[in-house]
Amino acid sequence: MPPERSYHYEAMFLIGQSTAADLAGVITHIDELLARAGAKLVSMAKWDERRLAYEIDKQKRGLYILAYFEAPAQKMAQFDRDCQLSELIMRVLIIRADHLTLEEMRAADGREALLSEAKMRAERAGEAEEQGQDNSVRLGRPVEESSADDDVDALDEESEESETANA
């Protein structure tokens, strides 16, 4: 049996806007997929966040994550299949990165910035959730209940006052 050949790969993951709210979970998911394929992550960074040319799964915007990794060639078909079946990843493009040196791949590492953005998105989502709860409490608060009898009594008092004023 010949030894497993490993190559460097470049993968571009497209993440939906709604999924990108939990960016830390998406990063963890990508790490798990890479680990399942026996890959060693070289670098990962946010590439861009932009409007899509056409809607994909009812999403109009997407977040692109660029990753460089080393993996056995025999496991790439299974890795691609796992990415295609993932509910968190809308699209993925994987190519061999023979055009880049290992130093160039490492220079593209933006994991720290990606993790800080994930933390910021989580905080923003928490604040939005709190505001949503505040609004629901305000909107869901019971209005002072008044019975029909109270309304009739108030009308009677107003009509009596207007009759005495007219007299």
The pLDDT of residue 135: 56
Amino acid, single-letter form, for residue 32 = E
Whole-number pLDDT of residue 162: 55
* pLDDT for position 156: 55
Q: 44, exposed or middle or buried, with CB in 10 Å at 0-12, 13-18, 19+?
A: buried
pLDDT of residue 131: 81
Predicted pLDDT of residue 144: 46
CATH number belonging to the domain at 6-124, selected among 3.40.50.800, 3.90.550.10, 3.30.70.60, 3.40.50.1100: 3.30.70.60
Q: Which residues pair with 65 in a beta bridge?
A: 13, 46
- According to the model, what pLDDT value does residue 160 have? 57
Q: Which two tokens stand for residue 167?
A: 């007299």
Spell out the domain ranges in the chain.
6-124
Q: What parts of the chain have a pLDDT lower than 70?
A: 1-2, 133-167
